[in-house]
Amino acid sequence: MYKLLRNILFLFPAESVHHFSMNALKFACKIGPIKKIIVSSFTYKSDSAVRKIFNLSFSNMVGLGAGFDKNALYLNELQCLGFGFVEIGTVTPLPQPGNDKPRLFRLKKDNALINRMGFNNDGVKVIAERLKKWNSRRSSDIGHRLIVGGNIGKNKITPNEDAWKDYETCFRELFDYVDYFVVNVSSPNTPGLRELQEKDALKKILGNLQTINHQQQSPKPLLLKIAPDLTWQQIDDVISLATEIQLSGLVVSNTTISRENLQISNDELQKIGAGGLSGAPLKTRSTEIVKYISQKTNNTIPVIASGGIFTSADAKEKLNAGASLIQVWTGFIYEGPAIVKKILSGL
């Protein structure tokens, strides 16, 4: 059924379809009987699915990666689809429109996407207020509590030497309204951002956040999201820093700038232009990094695995590599609203 609907939706621009589909789901979930049908159709209810990581209780291991619900507009609807957790953002201190459209592209032959969104979001103050309201009236009739992560970044206009201030602003503003934080220095779509993955720059950002975090009565889990394009030496530096600063975990991984082994033609790629590649082509590299980190640390640093997860077999591959939780994004687009239930049922 979804494949037929997907074929129709794929006739239209990707970003427009995204907003249309989620707004349609939002409308449907406002109608009581329809909401009940959606919840019963797409949620997987089992005590065996519960995962306790970072001192948080996740109703299941399948989450939705950052970039899908940038502005915390669809948390109730995503909860209805059975997600155990959702990462909002990337959130920046000031609102920003992101890069020029079109900026989201489907690579149908490759089960992939390319995006160069550019941290488009409503700004941290608006999003914090939205989360505050959602927390005060979050649905209790769905049967599980949705864990919400806050993915934070810097504004495009902020120079790298001042980036730590942007991360601090977002951390403080969102602290009372999210369950955990993810520091994003690995998007390829903000000029110069990936330079912040170097050890000294990272240490300044993460060390400052962790100092603030430990001053709070109940510190929040703090994670770092890394790029799949890092060298093994850079990954070793990340592991060393994560251990030193006592990060709660790592998200592996963000999108890649690689264009290797794609079925799409070079001419089509050139028409699309720059951006981060996600989906099936990222699966192998993401799994390699998860396995490397897990083995290098003896599983002492929990990993949320993201990249090329479409099926329960893909999820099992990540879990066998050492992941504690998994995130989907591109797989959600291609597999449809039943992806969480299909993965959990298959496991």
Two tokens at 224? 């770092």
CA distance to 94, 188, 218, 333, per residue, from 232 (Å): 34, 19, 34, 31
Query: Which amino acid is located at 190 in the chain?
Result: T
At 288 the pLDDT is: 98
Q: Ramachandran region of residue 113, left (φ > 0), alpha (ψ -120 to 50) or beta?
A: beta
**Stretch 299-310: mean pLDDT:** 98
Q: Ramachandran region of residue 44, left (φ > 0), alpha (ψ -120 to 50) or beta?
A: beta
At 105 the pLDDT is: 98
> C-alpha dihedral over 185, 191, 192, 196, to 10 degrees?
-10
User: Which of residues 85 and 141 earns the better pLDDT score?
Assistant: 85
Which of 177, 240, 241, 174 lies closest to 212, judged by CA? 174
Q: For the ranges 61-65, 111-115, 192-196, 284-288, which has the lowest average pLDDT? A: 192-196
At 45 the pLDDT is: 87
Average pLDDT, the chain: 96
At 256 the pLDDT is: 98
pLDDT, tens digit, 9 for 90 and up, residues 107-163: 999 999 999 999 999 999 999 999 999 999 876 667 789 999 999 999 999 999 999
Q: Is residue 333 very low, low, confident or very high in pLDDT (cuts 50, 70, 90)? A: very high
At 137 the pLDDT is: 85
Omega within 30 of 0 (cis) for the link into 219 = no
At 140 the pLDDT is: 67
pLDDT at 320 over 80: yes
The CA angle 274-304-186, to the nearest 5 degrees, is 30
pLDDT, tens digit, 9 for 90 and up, residues 182-226: 999 999 999 999 999 998 999 999 999 999 999 999 999 999 999
What percent of the chain shows pLDDT beyond 70? Answer: 99
At 101 the pLDDT is: 97
pTM of the model: 0.97
Domain 2-346 CATH class label: alpha beta
Domain boundaries, the chain: 2-346
Catalytic residues: 187
CA distance 181 to 225: 10
CA distance 339 to 333: 9
At 144 the pLDDT is: 82
